[in-house]
Structure 1
């Protein structure tokens, strides 16, 4: 990673932590609205992958790590209920009714988020303006990375939305560009075998692990322990992992660790390249404002 980008590394941790705080605040309200209005919550979860057309191929452009059979089951459920309609080439057209429904439940979360009152020098319009600079620069940046995630995600905030809602939207735009950056850096190493990549990530997470432990930790991915065992065997074959002295337990090799570090460095290089549009003073201001937002969201969450 270029030396000039090193001071920026602290930003991604702060941005992601702030997004997680926002999710914890809005998602209970989104889930309540979905239940009350009989709207599939998956329309919210998969809105980040776009609400134009659905297909396994399209979903795997941003999420190559989830079992595609899980997507197939989702498509079947949504098709039966009329939320999506089959079209040629294995795709489904998302209906306008579905887009309206997704917007409705996401706005339920945004209404609650709009009750957040900034204080102690937190300037939400200014923060939104700073984040917008980065979002616009991401869109104008040369490839790689390809801009699938930022071009596809379903946006709800508008020009007249409250500043906090605009901040949320810009943060998720930046989150999408992080995914674009990571996949551009990582995909050449795993191609279609995303499960092998998440296995390597689990091994590097700290302790030695088994296929069963990965399956339990990654239950939301939709794979079984035997799937992870096959992936672990593949990781051993390519030199990313090795068996420990304990039967069935694996750890990363030096080659596997170096590969992950190499991909993270390239991810950061892609991700931060557009940030050159920001001056040093703007970056300092952005970090200060983001830190205040993060800390005040924690306070807000505790109060409600």
Structure 2
């Protein structure tokens, strides 16, 4: 299958993100009260706690999380773990790694229980506009892609960790849809990492390169401001820029602006094409009819969830 043939699949992927966001928004009334009650409102804390559960029996560490998110600093993941350890929700396992404590297990169990219950209620509430047969059909289609993705010949660190939270037992179809959408988002990250990591650049250099390629920044100062949450200093991005210039991927367009060279453009476009090949090849388990159905089902699910949210009393 040629890269051009992935175009139709690429039209479906944004709908996955929109459906996932709609689920997230619709379930906040069930999850946020627990987060606020337990005081787990700091950035990355809940994500880290749930990930610690997902990777069991292995320990969690900043290095493990950084494998999926290499654009920021590993240090940025240290503080959430320290905070959770101080709250006795994680237990130190040695060498900077942690495991879920009994208290952490209790909170994650409560969060997941309320989240699943909320989704189950939502699934029932949208039944008149989004019948159970449609929910199950979408679940089956997404599960096929995830199952195929788990066999992809690339590093699946993100997908494997995400899939560790897959519900067991008699979870409803909408719960499984949410998990599959999370898994596909992680798999997309894996697909992109597999496309550029062989080039031997750092995460911060690759992200700077990408933003220059897209025209979103034109110098180190703008990058430092745009990516402030990544935790890197101006000096780090200056070094990354020097690496990109040394590779011939970027050059100065003026005294204060840099742009991607023709060689750089080809490198970045090939990485994007490789990402699509990595990501969409497992989708070929679906027939054209399946893919058309999935496009329609995702679009309708987003609308049904929005209507359900509007119907909730203030």
Q: Secondary structure at the match of 1:82?
A: coil
- Tell me the distance in 2 between the aligned counterparts of 1:118 and 1:237: 58
Which residue in the other structure is 2:276 paired with?
A: 268
Note the 1:76-95 alignment, pairs <5 A: 76-95=82-101
Return the match for 1:125 from 104, 123, 136: 136
Q: TM-score, normalised by structure 1?
A: 0.86
Structure 1 vs Structure 2 CA RMSD: 2.6
Which residue in the other structure is 2:47 paired with?
A: 45
Structure 1 runs of 4+ off > 6 angstroms?
Answer: none
**CA deviation map 1:216-269 (0-9, x unaligned):** 32222122333222222222222222223242x322222222222111111111
Give yes or no for contact 1:29–1:112 (8 Å, CA) kept in 2.
yes
* Shift, 1:195, TM fit: 0.6
Give yes or no for contact 2:129–2:304 (8 Å, CA) kept in 1.
no
Aligned length: 300
Which residue in the other structure is 1:225 paired with?
A: 234
Unaligned runs of 5+ in 1: none
Which residue in the other structure is 1:277 paired with?
A: 285
* Shift, 1:296, TM fit: 2.9
Does the C-alpha gap of structure 1 residues 207 and 280 become closer, same or farther in structure 2, counting only changes over 3 Å? closer
Return the match for 2:295 from 287, 297, 301: 287
- Tell me the distance in 1 between the aligned counterparts of 2:106 and 2:172: 20
Note the 1:82-121 alignment, pairs <5 A: 82-116=88-122, 117-120=126-129
Note the 1:63-78 alignment, pairs <5 A: 63-78=69-84
Unaligned runs of 5+ in 2: none
Does the C-alpha gap of structure 1 residues 214 and 111 become closer, same or farther in structure 2, counting only changes over 3 Å? farther
- Tell me the distance in 1 between the aligned counterparts of 2:55 and 2:105: 6
Give yes or no for contact 2:208–2:240 (8 Å, CA) kept in 1.
yes
Note the 1:167-178 alignment, pairs <5 A: 167-178=177-188
Q: TM-score, normalised by structure 2?
A: 0.84
Does the C-alpha gap of structure 1 residues 118 and 83 become closer, same or farther in structure 2, counting only changes over 3 Å? same
Please, which moves more after superposition, 146-155 or 16-25?
A: 16-25
* Shift, 1:29, TM fit: 4.9
Q: Does 1:255 align with 2:266?
A: no
- Tell me the distance in 2 between the aligned counterparts of 1:238 and 1:15: 36
* Shift, 1:303, TM fit: 4.8
